[in-house]
């Protein structure tokens, strides 16, 4: 029983990280109509910017976070203006393929600046605490609680603000939203702001929990896509729920599978979902 509870804690932690990444994925697909494969590398970029400020420049961690979020948002908006904006009226497959190129460029720039090695935010070893046999660290609890706070804030933003309602309308039916007079360019800007900001937080939370490496965001991207589809494409709250489900399932799978097979779990869930419920748990758009 203790082992199961321990895995549930780890799954909630991993699910928090996946959920933050999945929000940007589902918003991009729901509003702009394509799968952004550069999203994982935006997560990595945010983690490395925080590493630069906090570890390399030895400044306070909150300054690293304060720099990582706007830097990632800026990078996302630059990519949109330079690349994706040119293909707004083209078929979605063109934007999708372009996002592969953007991902490779971002990853290469990270490798040029920081190299291909593995880093940690701090070399100091933090001992785990115990609560009735369950091991935890304070930064892990901080990640979970911060994510829950972000979820509440995002829910209020999408449900009670004019911009949030416009984003939901575009995610549900982009054509009808345009005909209703919604400022689509403003909505797109907010999509990148929210997606980029949450990607930065997901990346630095992942680096806090594991280690920094240039491919870390790319490796987590499949789980983010699986969470977005599981929750219903275009449904931010559904993507968050999907993120927690994927994270918990990945950790619980180690009860019956070797640990190295846990990254396959999102792919298996994705295949089953596409076969039996392609619109996701919350009935998002399937095309």
Per residue in 121-142, pLDDT (tens digit) is 876 666 667 777 788 788 899 9
pLDDT tens digits for range 219-264: 999 999 999 999 888 888 999 999 999 999 999 998 888 888 888 8
**CA atoms of 112 and 34, how far apart (whole Å):** 28
Count the alpha carbons within 13 Å of 277 in the hemisphere toward its beta carbon: 13
Closest CA to 218 of 13, 36, 11: 36
The arithmetic mean of pLDDT across residues 100-117, rounded, is 95
- State residue 204's pLDDT score: 94
Residue spans per domain, the chain:
2-122+144-218
For residue 133, the model assigns a pLDDT of: 77
pTM, full prediction: 0.91
Looking at every residue in the chain, the average pLDDT score rounds to 89
Question: pLDDT at position 172, please?
Answer: 76
Q: What is the mean pLDDT of residues 143-163?
A: 93
Among 53, 80, 122, 107, which Cα is nearest to 219's?
Answer: 107
Question: Which range, of 5-14, 66-75, 93-102, 266-275, averages the lowest pLDDT?
Answer: 266-275
Q: What is the pLDDT of residues 178-231, one digit of tens each?
A: 778 888 889 999 999 999 999 999 999 999 988 899 999 999 999 999 999 998
Query: What pLDDT score does 203 carry?
Result: 96
In this prediction, residues 271-286 reach a mean pLDDT of: 72
Rounded percentage of the chain residues whose pLDDT exceeds 90: 61
**Residue 262 DSSP one-character state:** G
Whether the CB-CB separation of 164 and 144 falls below 8 Å is answered with no
Contacts of 49 (CB under 8 A, 6+ apart): 64, 67, 68, 71, 72, 200
């Amino acid at each position: 029983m203790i082992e199961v509870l321990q895995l549930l804690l780890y799954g909630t932690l991993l699910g928090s990280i996946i959920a933050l990444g999945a929000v940007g994925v589902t918003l991009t697909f729901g509003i702009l109509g394509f799968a952004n494969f550069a999203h994982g590398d935006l997560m990595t970029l945010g983690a490395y910017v925080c590493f630069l400020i906090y570890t390399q420049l030895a400044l306070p961690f909150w300054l690293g976070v304060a720099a990582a979020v706007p830097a990632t948002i800026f990078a996302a908006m630059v990519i949109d203006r330079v690349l994706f904006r040119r293909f707004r009226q083209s078929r979605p497959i063109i934007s999708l393929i372009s996002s592969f190129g953007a991902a490779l460029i971002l990853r290469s720039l990270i490798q040029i600046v920081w190299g291909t090695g593995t880093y940690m935010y701090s070399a100091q070893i933090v001992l785990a605490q115990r609560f009735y046999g369950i091991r935890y660290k304070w930064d892990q609890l901080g990640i979970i609680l911060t994510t829950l706070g972000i979820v509440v804030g995002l829910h209020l933003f999408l449900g009670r603000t004019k911009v949030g309602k416009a984003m939901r309308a575009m995610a549900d039916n982009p054509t009808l939203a345009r005909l209703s007079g919604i400022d689509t360019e403003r909505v797109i800007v907010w999509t990148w702001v929210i997606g980029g900001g949450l990607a930065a937080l997901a990346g630095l939370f992942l680096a806090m929990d594991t280690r920094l490496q240039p491919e870390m965001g790319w490796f987590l991207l499949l789980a983010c896509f699986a969470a977005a589809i599981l929750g219903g494409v275009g449904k931010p709250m559904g993507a968050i729920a999907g993120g927690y489900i994927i994270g918990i399932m990945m950790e619980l799978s180690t009860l019956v599978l070797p640990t190295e097979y846990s990254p396959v779990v999102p792919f298996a869930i994705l295949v089953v979902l596409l076969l039996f419920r392609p619109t996701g748990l919350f009935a998002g758009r399937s095309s």
